[in-house]
A and B are shown apart, each in its own frame.
Chain A
Amino acid sequence: MTRPIVAIRSVSKTFGEFQALKRVSLDVREGEVLCLIGASGSGKTTLLRCINQLTSADSGGIWLDGELLGLREQGGRLHRLTPQQIARQRLKTGMVFQRFNLFPHMTALENITEGPVQVQRREREDARAEAMELLRRVGLAAKADAYPAQLSGGQQQRVAIARALAMKPMLMLFDEPTSALDPELVGEVLSVMKELARSGMTMMVVTHEVGFAREVADTVVYMDHGAIVESGPAADVLGAPREARTRSFLSAVI
């Protein structure tokens, strides 16, 4: 564990009347697996979406790899980055969505090569070879030419993980990656994520899978009503929570 790869400082966000994030600060270190837990509406997904700028924070700042996201400081004032600059910053993160969001008109292989070929302008042949390697890694080499509609939910989510990895991100964001899956398909996705964690990838995972958090996470963060209630090593937060709110949440989900 070395320097923070993500530094979140005093980030707030409101949607209309609803305050989704209240002055949240958090560090994620290189190689760390951080699980965000909490009830729905607690702000954990919003925090994740702020990091890859699908949502922009109202105030506060997020630094990724030392670079301020979405904003530029000049002459004591902040200026918004252009959409092109934001797109370039997004390349450092890979995002896995709750509902997979694979491109339905492309095969599994085409889904994975789309970013490297179209955005990173890599050679099609190299991108295909790497995509096949990624499909092998998630156990789906045989499904390279299948369309998303021909895959189960668990298979689609594994392709979505491979699609995010193909961009060679320094940070992987998972937004409730198993919540839309049938119970018998959760395990195959979690085992791909465990393998990824073992390989040293920095990961932020919004999840309801307390078992996964206990086994894989270095750090667990419990959020409630837009604020971090408790954070620390997984064994402490999940095994011996200090806060009453954390205890009552954990007793409700386990």
Chain B
Amino acid sequence: MRAARTLAGGFPDISKMTVARQAHWQRWLTAAAIVVVLAAIGRAFAGGQIEWAYVGRFLAAKVILEGIANTMVMAVLAMALGIVLGVVVAIMRLSSNPVLTSVAAGYTWLFRGTPLILQLLLWFNLALVFPTIGIPGLWSARAVDVMTPFLSALLGLGLNQGAYTSEVMRAGMLSVDAGQYEAAHAIGMGRLRALHRIILPQAMRVVIPPLGNEFIGMVKATSLASVIQYPEVLHNAENIYYANSRVIELLIVAGFWYLLVVSILTPLQMLLERRFARGALQIAR
């Protein structure tokens, strides 16, 4: 069958022809430009005053590994605290009780409105305000003993995270159709059971991408706890370079570990997203 055949109305028959590949010369051009820029940056670093041998030596040093472990422990615990607080505060914020609504709004206002580093320093220095803390008649202790770097960092990071997470959770709950609340009420569910069984599982779908963002932010925010002596990876890296003056090398080591952790978190987030997309991704009948 020849391509020159004509169809009704004198139009040529193009049904058997193939579409020629487009020449993407712009793509090649931009790629080449980027290679040149990267090569220039690479050359600058190769010739710069960085002792790569030190980077290699400290990359898996015991103190650095302990530091990244502490970073992860703090990030996970503070995020867990933040999510629990965030869910509770979001539910309070959306309740019809004006007392709960204002308490929730006040909490968000206070902890979102002051710098995180300031909050960390306040918790760590709580002993200056309350020398002893406790429950009258039951238990009491000196605040300096209780407010360890670990607990100060956990409270500072967790309470701050809760304020942000509550807004993420509130957005997720608002994204669920009002008909879902009505259907839950119609089968006799109260507000809390409807939230637990019907609304929150659907809100999770919307909430996981921003929460993933928040968790990545949290991993890096733990570095602020270095100012209150919590032995996370940046704090430990600093301690090493105070001794050996290899500042840039140890910062590169710390940076490498942050990047590695964040790279591992991204596929984990995708797994979670798939878990909560139940019922939403199957369209085929």
Contact = CB atoms under 8 A, between A and B. Distances in A.
A167 B187 contact: yes
A95 B186 contact: yes
| Interface residue tally on B, bucketed by range | 20 to 34
Of A54, A87, A93, most B-chain CB atoms within 10 Å: A87
B187 A148 contact: no
B57 interface: no
Contact of A118 (B185, B197, B276, B280): B197
Contacts of A150: 282-285
Nearest to B277: A105
B190 interface: yes
Interface stretch (B17-25, B119-127, B175-183, B253-261): B175-183
Interface in B191-210: 191, 193, 197-198, 201-202
A147 B280 CA distance: 8
A31 interface: no
Nearest to A112: B187
B279 interface: yes
Given A149-B279, A150-B283, A97 B191 contact: no
A84 B183 CA distance: 16
A90 interface: yes
A171 to B, nearest CB: 12
Contacts of A76: none
Given A118-B193, A119-B187, A163-B187, A104 B280 contact: yes
B278 interface: yes
Contact of B179 (A83, A84, A99): A99
B132 to A, nearest CB: 43
B180 A103 contact: yes
B116 interface: no
B183 A103 contact: yes
B278 A91 contact: no
Contact of A83 (B177, B190, B197, B278): B190
Contacts of B177: 101
Contacts of B183: 95, 97, 101-103
Contact of B279 (A97, A106, A115): A106
Contacts, number: 82
Interface string A211-222: 000000000000
A55 to B, nearest CB: 10
A94 B187 CA distance: 7
B197 A114 contact: yes
Contact of A101 (B182, B190, B279): B182
Nearest to A94: B186
B136 interface: no
Contacts of B282: 147, 149-150
Contacts of B180: 101, 103
A147 B180 CA distance: 15
Interface in A1-42: none
B48 interface: no
Contacts of A54: 182, 185-186
A52 B187 CA distance: 10
Interface string B242-285: 00000000000000000000000000000000001011101111
Nearest to A54: B182
A163 B183 CA distance: 10
A114 B187 contact: yes
Contacts of A87: 185, 188-190
Contacts of A52: 186
A118 B193 CA distance: 8
Nearest to B283: A149
Interface string B162-187: 00000000000000010110111111
Interface of B: 177, 179-180, 182-191, 193, 197-198, 201-202, 276, 278-280, 282-285
17 contacts: A90-B186, A90-B188, A94-B186, A95-B183, A99-B179, A101-B177, A103-B202, A104-B279, A105-B201, A105-B279, A105-B280, A114-B187, A115-B189, A148-B279, A149-B279, A150-B284, A167-B187
